[in-house]
Structure 1
Amino acid sequence: MADQTTDGFYTNLSCGALGIRPGFEAAVDLAIEFGFGAVEPDVGYLTSQSAEQVEALRSRLAEHGVKWGNAGLPVDLNADAATFASQLAALNDHAARLASYGIDRVGTWIRPMSNSLTYRRNFRRHAERIALVDEILAGAGVRFGLEYVGPKSFWSTELYPFVHTLAEARELIDAVGSPNVGLILDTFHWYTSGESAADIAELSAEEVVAVDLNDAPTGLERDQQQDGQRMLPGATGVIDVAGFVGALRKIGYVGPVKVEPFNAELRAMDPRDAVAKTAESLNAVL
């Protein structure tokens, strides 16, 4: 079983991130069975339930010491203007629902390249769009996390590279100018960006909204690593997960920690076995 909390961390079960689809009710059962401190919320499922059913579920989770992890953002920061405007218009009601369910963290990733926008134009557009999204989320009391994507094998595939390092992500967040916007840190992106525990130690705890722990396959150079091929944390030792976790402890991070390995072997497992193996890996590194 995974410890529900380790210092300020609480382990977060995201079946979607593991590539398994047991259904949300089964995911809740698995989170409780294997001692996770949080479960990633399925907002569509919650919306389909009555207020009484949602309250009963929240009570059950609280009884077992399980919180909500971070939810996804239903707005595409890279969409065309009309699509972005439409999604933004719907976000107010969505954010109100999140608040009513007690979900207080949302995240999305930053696409690290473009074939049409130079770095400066892309930076300006992202800063403007993130600020618009954040105004709504902050008004509902929901924190907004941004995840940079580090593999060179990904960001180098289009004409104009964009934000793909911790330093650049912090510059973008600083340009937005809202204390409600923070980072989603992933060991895989941290490793492929060539960063160190010292880079994490420079952060304040308040800058970090959520954390993903993964390892990398052996036999590849850093710049050869593929975003869609990862390992459970601690599986290979390619990534210094202990150093990453230690730095987060040093700054006093409090929040969810999940595994997102994009691993074919794990996806092929029975969901219960996959969750059991994930819990075991989190125990080992936390």
Structure 2
Amino acid sequence: MRFALNHITVPSLSLEAFFALARNLDITEVEIRNDTPDVAGTRAAGEVRTAAADAGVTILSINAVYPFNLWSGDLPERAEKLADYAAECGAKGLVMCPLNNGQSVSDEDLVEALAAMQPILVSRGLKGLVEPLGFPISSLRTKRRSLDAIARSGGEGTYRLVHDTFHHSLAGETDIFAAETGLVHISGVTDPAVAVDDMLDTHRGLVTEGDRLDNAGQIRALLAQGYEGPFSFEPFSAEIHALSDPQTAIRQSMDFISNQLQDRARP
């Protein structure tokens, strides 16, 4: 399997230090962000492209266009601006997250947004990475609904799913759409006290012993169905962000996941 690294894993590191950490872990694929840390808002796209080339890393995506499924207000302008930045910095795609505040968004609005975003992506050679959020307050919780809307919008060649192991668990979705998946986000929850419906980003750590999300099972299912893309670490926990030696912790998580897959493969 191919591991990747999202900058939210180590948000206190500079862009260059983040890229160096990835390479020290033998990871060559990374994700940058426009929130925490706000690389897209603080660094020139050309600088990012040069830093990535110097480090020998590929930028898989920028997180994120939000809320992509409500195409109104300043969203079209922001989406175009971020797409321009992504193309200039060498990113391969944009992660697209739905409205997540308890307000519902209709299927018609979802299809309209996908149709409107498609030419922005196509003209810049980018993929749209649609990431359903499994939170109870999310306006788009499942990959199935996402795929139906993508088909209705005529965007099958432009859009791919993000399978996030955390959100997959929260949504209670059982189907694995490996053929339609372009990126997998991995993180683990070990707190035994928090109910599934109460899990938040702050509970998301690295994948370790006691993981309640069955990351290993989800990864095995994706691989078994032919997924060959990257598995990108995306922990939001303040505890992980405060680690004095994140490299060792990430390496241990990589080894843990690999061992879990090997143990299941043994007769």
TM-score by length of structure 1 reads 0.76
**Counterpart in 2 of 1:165?**
142
Q: What residue identity is the alignment partner of 2:214?
A: D
- 1:141 Cα deviation after fit: 2.0
**Counterpart in 2 of 1:131?**
115
Q: What residue identity is the alignment partner of 2:241?
A: R
**Counterpart in 1 of 2:30?**
39
CA contact (8 A) 1:70 1:256 kept: no
| 1:144-190 deviation digits (Å, cap 9, x = unpaired) | 111111133xx1xxxxx622122222222222221211211111111
Report matched runs for 1:257-268 at 5 Å. 257-268=231-242
**Counterpart in 1 of 2:130?**
146
TM-score by length of structure 2 reads 0.81
Distance 2:14 2:74 in 1: 29
**Counterpart in 1 of 2:5?**
13
**Counterpart in 2 of 1:231?**
205
- 1:25 Cα deviation after fit: 0.8
- Shift in alpha-carbon separation, 1:109–1:119, aligned structure 2, 3 A: closer
Name the % identity: 23
Distance 2:83 2:232 in 1: 27
- 1:268 Cα deviation after fit: 1.6
2:170 is the alignment partner of 1:214: no
CA contact (8 A) 1:210 1:255 kept: yes
1:85 aligned to which of 69, 76, 81 = 76
- 1:224 Cα deviation after fit: 2.8
- Structure 1 unaligned residues grouped into runs of 5+: 1-5, 156-160
- Shift in alpha-carbon separation, 1:224–1:90, aligned structure 2, 3 A: closer
Report matched runs for 1:59-78 at 5 Å. 60-61=55-56, 66-74=57-65, 76-77=67-68
**Counterpart in 1 of 2:97?**
109
2:20 is the alignment partner of 1:29: yes
**Counterpart in 1 of 2:265?**
none
**Counterpart in 2 of 1:189?**
167
Look up the SS of the partner of 2:18 in the other structure: helix
Distance 1:109 1:162 in 2: 10
Distance 2:212 2:49 in 1: 42
**Counterpart in 2 of 1:241?**
215
